[in-house]
Amino acid sequence: MKKISLLFFAALLSMAIISCEKKTDADQQGAETADKNEVVGMHNFTAEDLMSVKRQSDPQLSPDGKYLLYRMGTPDIEANKISNDIYVISLEDKKITQITTDEASEFNARWSPDGKQIAYISTKGDAPQIYVMDFPNGKAKQITKAENGAENMAWSPDGTMFSFTSDVKMHSTVAEKYPQYPKAKVRMYDKIPIRAWDVWEDENRSHLFVIPSTGGDAKDLTVDEPHDTPLKPFGGGEQIAWSPDSKELIYTCKKGEKFAENTNSALYLVSVGGGEAIDLTPELLGYDMNPLYSPDGKWLAFNSMEHNGFESDRHRLMLMNRETKEITELSKTLDQWVGQTVWAADSKSLYFCAEDSGAVHPYQIMVEDGSWKTLAEDAYNYGSGLAASADGTFLIIGRQSMIEPLDFYKLNLADNSVEQITNANEDLMSNINKVKTEERWITSTDGKQVMCWIVYPPNFDPNKKYPMITYCQGGPQSMIGQRFHYRWNYFLMASNDYVVLLPNRRGLPGFGQEWNNAISGDWGGMPMQDILAATDELAKESYVDNDGLCALGASAGGYAAFWLAGNHEGRFKAFISHCGVFNMESMYGSTEELFFPNWENGGPYWEEKNKKFYEEHSAHKFADKWDTPILISTGENDFRVPYTQSLEAFTVAQVKGIDSKILIFPEETHFIAHAQEFIIWSSEFFEFLDKYTKK
């Protein structure tokens, strides 16, 4: 249930209702082209279109700054999968070369330090392994033969080694204890957690290895460690770093007691020759992760959260002097979450991306004094990929919006101008009727300002009336921004002739940490009032059909749909909840990360001090007032919000005789990731909404 500027926020408090537009270039283009239905092939965006979008990621700039290496996923709806291959594009003439072409998936591609080779991981064998080839026309050579496969590969700076992670058997199995019963299927545990996101805990732990870059024997640097690096479930290679002299690595790991109840990860230093790891951050109590050595070797930068148990604390950028070991917070004057970060080549500054009022902007921060500046302030999401040139003249950065899939851009540091490098979905998107997005601020019930996005249907006519979707954000601490989402795609919603309201209600980043923290302990309080206030304000518009209002969301947004179903006082005609939290009491005993309800809810439901929270905020406590049609969906492999939450809610609707339907996806997790399942879900989604919101 996942992954923020006080001065900016304070200024907003003095405003009344503001209705100012902030349009991207794409929005303006969309307004100009939206009426061109007569163009051959033009059509509204569909679920099939969304599931056909090519997905680019992981940009890696060559050492000489002439080429960009990246991964691209090409969907195959018929095969119900995405094929991932490695590509290189020349920054000079934009010529694209496809590096891998086989049916296997390739990922984690990296340049050798001299730029003459490319290494990547391929799934072509029994398990993912590291391969190396000369650039541009070499033949791939397999480097690793790890029994359980290789992940999170990185070259050493001197080019002589690779680091990677691989699962290692650390505990005995039930089959080993009871060999006389080989057909028995049993899981046994004597401590929590027993699950992580979508998998059951087993006998394996992810260890850190090194291997010569020419091949040979791999060495386990975390031998006998009963812990994982990187952190599960979403940690990757960014949580491991080579020193500039190639003599040591730093890895991220959580080794404390009460594993399911704390977030106290640390950074550990280990020699490439092995030996005992040194804890570099013993005094820091929350998540510490994502180490980055400065090019000159004098500094170590990393992300840290202050409080143990709070996974959505402010993401601080910390700096360690490697000689004195002194740690300071570099980003202390920036009330936002520091995201993906890279060093400048001269080691005098760092570049990073941070969420900011519905957008994600690139920043530069100086090592000397922590002063910072934004490098681009337009309403785009500049994230999901960041690389700095060795000569210090430009960045490569991913950019996307609600109506534009991610492409890579060159950000020139002399004047902050941007130049598009890739345009992977030009053919597909050129035939789509565009929609317009608008920024609007509304006043909540306590007078505070709430930033909302509004997405209008294609060919929007203000003289017509449209049904309206109120989208409830999940996370709960997750900003609604200019993102081309592959599950909750606002372009797709609007393209089905809905006005889409997206309120950045209390309890999410991008608007200062105080705003982010405001949902903890108050799930059904002011965050829900923000959603209702935004709904009521936009419903005053003449183009909104008040008999066609609906609300929906997933995870914490699914909770909002369940909570609103018992508290909306007749506003909405239909609800949709995907993987929503319904019963906070049963959720406490079935989710796999106990630190989450311990922080958000105050602790266990049986403790007297917490009973008021569960009574006032758990959606199931308001089931007696349910009377509105509801569509519920869930994945059986969702261990974060187990599918039983959706079953409980569906039972309520059925027993009360409410028009309702449940969609259960046996192989999906907290997300619907497969194309055919998504298309079916989308079809049911709009069929259900249309039935109750469109006359």
CB distance 650 to 662 below 8 Å:
yes
CB distance 525 to 563 below 8 Å:
no
Instruction: Pick left, alpha or beta for residue 578 (phi over 0 → left; psi -120 to 50 → alpha; otherwise beta).
Output: beta
- 233-262: buried (b, 16+ CB within 10 Å) or exposed (e) per residue? bebebbbbbbbbebebbbbbbbbeeebbbb
Counting Cβ atoms within 10 Å, is residue 171 exposed (0-12), middle (13-18) or buried (19+)? exposed
Known catalytic residue at 638 = yes
Residue of 27, 670, 674, 682 marked active site: 670
Q: What span, in angstroms and rounded, lies between the C-alpha atoms of 305 and 477?
A: 14
CA distances from 523 to 526, 530, 536, 556, 590 (A): 8, 11, 20, 9, 19
Q: What span, in angstroms and rounded, lies between the C-alpha atoms of 588 and 594?
A: 7
Residue of 555, 618, 646, 660 marked active site: 555
Q: Which helix (H) or strand (E) element contains residue 536?
A: helix 526-538
Chain Cα centroid distance, residue 465: 34
Long-range contacts, stretch 295-301, CB < 8 angstroms, 24+ apart: 295/244, 295/343, 295/345, 295/346, 295/347, 296/244, 296/347, 297/243, 297/244, 297/245, 297/322, 298/322, 298/323, 298/347, 299/347, 299/367, 300/250, 300/267, 301/330, 301/341, 301/343, 301/350
Q: What span, in angstroms and rounded, lies between the C-alpha atoms of 616 and 611?
A: 9
Known catalytic residue at 307 = no
Residue of 568, 620, 638, 660 marked active site: 638
SS3 290: strand
CB distance 90 to 66 below 8 Å:
yes
Known catalytic residue at 279 = no
Structure tokens belonging to residue 223: 């031998």
Instruction: Pick left, alpha or beta for residue 620 (phi over 0 → left; psi -120 to 50 → alpha; otherwise beta).
Output: alpha
- Catalytic positions: 555, 638, 670
